[in-house]
Structure formats: C-alpha cells, structure tokens
C-alpha cells in the first residue's frame, strides 16, 4: 500500500464544489497552490483572480513562495472572496491563521482534512477536546478517531455553525473535502 501523497485526488469533486460557489470576478487566495492546477482549471471556465502561496520554489507561476502559515498574517484577508486550504493532512495551523486574520463576512473557506491510517491528530485539535500532549504521547493514535469532531468543534468556537463536507473513506484514510462561509 503506497503512502505517496497525490496532488488533487478527487479532482472532479473538488472542482465541482468550487464551481458551485465561485463567480466571475472573485478573488481567490490559494494557500497550498502547488502547480495551480485546481484553480487554473476553474479559471478557464470563469473569470477569477488567484493569489497562490507555495512552499516549494519553482512550483506554480506568479505565486508567493514560503510557508502559508507565515505569509497569511501579513495579508489583508478581507480582499479575498475565497480562501482555499487544500493541503495534505490537517492544515489546522493555516486555518487558525486565516480565522484569526479577520476575513470578511461571506468569505468562502474551502478545506481539506485528511487522516491517514492511525496517524496522530494534531496537538491543537487534541487540546481543543481536553487531551494534553502528555496524555496523547502515551498512546498517540488512540484519539485519532476524534480528530474531525474536534476540527468541527474548533470551527464552532469561531462561530462557524454550518459546514458542508464530502467524506471519502478509502483503504487506509479518511478524506474530508468541504467548505464553510464566514458569518
């Protein structure tokens, strides 16, 4: 069984979800831009403006290079209609930076939440449900089943009460692709 990360698995579902909400003239912040395939594909169908952030130099064109968690706080998030957090794993650090960065009401946030096998949940999400790092270190995978519920609880703490989620259970992973709108 391969543990290789694949850019844009479930590409069609991700495109359909974004196209159902994106409109001409919208400004997008794509925080894990990669080669820009997802929003590049959508940009061929509607007129949008995309600002990409990519950690790996040479990937993508016309993007901001660096870790999005470090770049997001320097941006005026109120300029964007859509903020996309389609990453490998659980990009809770980036999401917290976005939510703390005061995006405007009505901003659409797309997320990816992937937990592979018995992977350990992030410390932030564990703390969010009252599990300390020392507790988690005794049995790191015990609490992984609570990861997505803790993620939703974190969003609720930021007044996000409606989340639209597609869940794919594959051989050794749980993949959530979804969105919510800033109230």
Neighbours of 106 (CB within 10 A): 9
Query: pLDDT tens, 24-74?
Result: 999 999 999 999 999 999 999 999 999 999 998 888 777 999 999 999 999
Per-residue pLDDT at 96 exceeds 90: yes
Range of the domain at 28: 11-118+160-181
Measure the N-to-C terminal CA separation of the chain; round to a whole number of Å: 41
pTM assigned to the model = 0.89
pLDDT at 7: 55
Smallest CA-to-CA distance from 1 within 116, 165, 155 is with 116
Is 134 part of a structural domain of the chain?
A: no
Neighbours of 72 (CB within 10 A): 22
Is 33 part of a structural domain of the chain?
A: yes
Per-residue pLDDT at 2 exceeds 60: no
Is 25 part of a structural domain of the chain?
A: yes
- Label residue 175 exposed, middle or buried (CB < 10 Å: 0-12, 13-18, 19+): middle
The structural domain count of the chain equals: 1
Phi/psi at 151 (nearest 5 deg)?
-60, -45
Give the whole-angstrom CA distance, residue 72 versus residue 56: 16
């Amino acid at each position: 069984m391969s543990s290789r990360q694949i850019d844009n698995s479930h590409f069609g579902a991700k495109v359909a979800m974004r196209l159902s909400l994106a409109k001409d003239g919208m400004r997008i912040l794509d925080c894990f831009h990669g080669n820009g395939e997802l929003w590049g594909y959508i940009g061929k169908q509607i007129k949008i403006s995309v600002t990409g952030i990519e950690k790996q130099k040479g990937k993508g064109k016309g993007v901001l290079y660096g870790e999005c968690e470090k770049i997001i706080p320097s941006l005026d998030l109120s300029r964007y209609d859509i903020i996309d957090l389609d990453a490998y794993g659980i990009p809770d650090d980036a999401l917290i930076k976005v939510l703390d960065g005061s995006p405007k009401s009505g901003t659409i946030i797309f997320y990816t939440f992937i937990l592979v096998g018995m992977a350990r949940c992030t410390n932030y999400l564990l703390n969010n449900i009252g599990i300390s790092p020392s507790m988690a270190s005794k049995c790191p995978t015990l609490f992984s089943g609570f990861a997505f519920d803790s993620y939703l609880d974190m969003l609720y703490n930021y007044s996000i009460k409606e989340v639209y989620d597609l869940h794919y259970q594959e051989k050794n992973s749980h993949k959530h692709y979804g969105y919510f709108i800033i109230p």
